[in-house]
Amino acid sequence: MSLFKFGNLEMEIDFTDVDVAKSLEDAAEILNEEVKKLPLTGKNSEVIRAQNVCYDHYFDHIFGQGASGKMFRTGSLSQRLEAVKLFADLKFQSDHELSEKLSSYRVNKAGNRQQRRNYERQHRNRP
């Protein structure tokens, strides 16, 4: 379990839980679709507001409706980008820890003593 804390939101999240993984995949798809629809021209305030809505939907999908309201008290895009970076770093750290745990369960490719001897005999005279 990892603790994600931003603004007034503090939640534990288990990145190894299948439901959480599905939620993250769905949230990423929604975010990608919404980003494609963002206005590229217009008033700067309208463009920023549209980007904010994309990130708000992303976090609401992951943590539940209203989560973005607890996280962000202003209309600052830089706050949302900071939250995304913090969340991505937390996910990376969790993935790294899981990888380290799983590495102790990897199969020894060298095999047992008899298998190594047989391998050496078979490959001894090859160029």
SS3 sequence of 55-118: HHHHHHHHHCCCHHHHHCCCCCHHHHHHHHHHHHHHHHHHHHHHHHHHHCCCCCCCCCHHHHHH
Could you tell me the residue ranges of all domains in the chain? 2-89
pLDDT tens digits along 65-111? 999 999 999 999 999 999 999 999 999 999 989 888 887 776 666 66
Q: How confident is the model at residue 119 (pLDDT cuts 50, 70, 90)?
A: confident
Residue type, 105: Y
pLDDT score recorded for residue 108: 60
pTM of this prediction exceeds 0.85: no
Taking all residues of the chain, what is their mean pLDDT, rounded to a whole number? Answer: 89
